Structure 1
Amino acid sequence: MNSTVNSSRAVQNDFKDVFIRNFIVVFFGITINYINGIFVFIFSRSLVFYMESKYILYIHLVINDMIMLAISVTLHVLTYAAPLVNVSVCCILLLLGSMTHKNTPMSLAGMAVERYIAICKPLHHSQICTVRRTYMLILLIWCVSFIAELADIIILLVMRPLSFFSSSTLCYPLVVYSTSYNADKSVTVNVLFLSFVWIILIYTYFRVFFAAKSATTDAVSAKKAQNTILLHGVQLLFCMMSYITPLLEIILVPLFPNDRNKITFSNFLITNVFPRFLTPLIYGIRDQKIVSYFKKYFLICIVTCKW
């Protein structure tokens, strides 16, 4: 009798823990996407933002983060609500999630280059950073990330029977892409991507830093651009943490076996959810033009609601 009661209590406690974890993830996911959605709304209602490349790149990063966060939260909830997912459906979700994940560092690199051109080559900025070229850059970013992630599916098509795609599995990259070729490809691509982005961020940061010391450059604008690129580096560090999450879990879980769920949950929040909140902070709150339009629409909303 006591064992039955204890089992019932254990099940209730597990359900309570799962519910709380999923509630926290969904709550923060909706909240962050709501905040990002406000900036998307402001951008869509203000034609002035359509004419400047830095705002186009910014809003692309915001939309990319919204998609990535939505997919990450969906996959997290699915691991508890419906652990086994059709492999074909899972591959599509993982493809979109991985693409948006890789889009983030490439977008940060593109935004850093735009700021470098604006500060170090101001006379050529309007000719180099045109609206058309900005959209071409965004298209290139998506194409590169799509090709990089499509390689995983092609490897599966070669290494696995077709029946594998009609089966069900836990929708987790290391589970679905479990071949040695997938692992080698993942390491190679991640090293190339992150090395490329870090080289660009470091180069643009120091070029803007030295430009800020010269008398021919607007020191205030250069300092602001310098801080923006530095914040991009912080955001990239958070993105990189997702690559070392499995290693952290391998180290921490044996040390704290009773806290396995807490460790994996904390890692998920720190590497997948909270970094998505940095994007509106870096540009949205620090940019006076966006803040002015935000106040404008906020006041209109207050007046409208009163009526």
Structure 2
Amino acid sequence: MGCWFAGSQLEMLVAGLLVFIISKTLLIKTHVSFRLPTIQNWFFCLRSLLVKNWKMNSTVWIVDSYEEALAKNLVIVSLGLIINFINGMLVVTFFSNPMFSRDSRYILYIHLVINDMLMICLSVTLYVLTYVSPFVNSSLCCVLVVLGSTTFMITPLNLAGMAIERFIAICKPLHHAQICTPQRTYIFICLLWVIGAIPSLADIIILLLIQPISFFSSLVLCYPFSLFPSKAHKDRTTASQVIYMSLVWIILIYTYCRVLFTARKAVSKGSANKAQRTILLHGVQLLLCMLSYIAPVLDLIVTPFFPVHRTKITFLNYLITNIMPRLLSPLIYGVRDQKFLKQMKEYFTCKVIIVKIMPSKL
């Protein structure tokens, strides 16, 4: 099933929908000059607003079939549940042993896991909304997009904090216990949320300046580029991503080099080499997080070769660049840590109790 229409037809379709809703609400018999589609057709036609191809200087809207849309949503929701289940096991392991809550290293790690869980929930919710209810109240959409953007920005900042903690542990071992206390770690996490929320709050301020108050009670396509379409928003996005990612990469490179020099001077190089590999791992995690930055570029490169399969390309792109890294990054770090892995095995392994029944003596 498909829904193909151009610009003028789109206006007629939306106008017809509004007339249909008003007539049903006021119980007025209303006649329009074209046949109103069924609810299922509305689903496909509204979904198609998010995916478009430019061909021969005209806009052609492509939409998934019902079966394809259902399959994609099942895959995304299932993966989201699986990833959050695995991450939930890591969270339960953390709280099962008080030792972890006294170590700043594990506190920062579990904050990374919880942040990824929130991001998965928001990302999957927004994805499903584009199919189920493309038009969402602007205020609700702002909340979802702002929270999603904030959790996305916090991930690399948290990785930078974990690298700094390892740098202090290796290069300033005598001061580590005084600097990296649990209380200061929680303060640092609060600071991460403030810094991570600044770009999203800037988007809201720009929106308040260029849009009337009535905009926040209207219906919009709940998609960042639809909610924040102005040039000011695009400039803000580019500037914040460049600044934040550059800062994180500088921190990772600096801490890695300092730990590398310390390892060469140290008599016992075991802990220093391990910290060096840990910071390298943070760099790999950061690269995984940055995959989402190349998603638009991949769309632009691949789509012209397969214009008919644009929705499939967008789906695979979203799956590879946004969903899968959220599974790999916590697992790589959690499984690698022997203390954490041992505690997880002890907590989740089924203990078999063998009861031996002895015959009674009469």
TM-score (norm 1): 0.91
User: After the TM superposition, which residues 73-152 of structure 1 pair with which residues of structure 2 at under 5 Å, given as runs?
Assistant: 73-152=124-203
Q: What SS does structure 1 have at the residue aligned with 2:65? A: helix
Q: What SS does structure 2 have at the residue aligned with 1:208? A: helix
Relative contact order higher in (CA < 8 Å, ≥ 6 apart):
1
CA displacement 1:100-146 (0-9 Å, x = unmatched): 00000000000001011111111111111111111111000001112
Q: What SS does structure 2 have at the residue aligned with 1:178? A: coil
Match of 2:93 among 42, 45, 49: 42
Larger Rg: 2
User: After the TM superposition, which residues 1-307 of structure 1 pair with which residues of structure 2 at under 5 Å, given as runs?
Assistant: 14-216=65-267, 218-299=268-349, 301-303=350-352
1:82/1:157 Cα in 2 relative to 1: closer, same or farther (>3 Å)?
A: same
CA displacement 1:146-181 (0-9 Å, x = unmatched): 222111011101101112111111111111000111
Return structure 1 stretches of 4+ with deviation > 2 angstroms.
Answer: 278-283, 301-304
Q: Contact 1:87 / 1:169 at 8 angstroms: preserved in 2? A: yes
Q: Which amino acid aligns with 2:291?
A: M
Shift of 1:302: 4.7
Distance 2:294 2:166 in 1: 29
The count of residues paired between Structure 1 and Structure 2 equals 293
CA displacement 1:223-271 (0-9 Å, x = unmatched): 2222221121111112222123222212221222022112111111112
Higher helix proportion = 1
Q: Contact 1:112 / 1:201 at 8 angstroms: preserved in 2? A: yes
Q: Which amino acid aligns with 2:190?
A: L
- Aligned identity (percent) is 55
Q: Which amino acid aligns with 1:205?
A: Y
- Structure 2 unaligned spans of 5+: 1-40, 45-62, 354-362
Q: Contact 2:170 / 2:259 at 8 angstroms: preserved in 1? A: yes
TM-score (norm 2): 0.78
Distance 2:183 2:106 in 1: 13
Distance 2:165 2:93 in 1: 22
Distance 1:13 1:176 in 2: 23
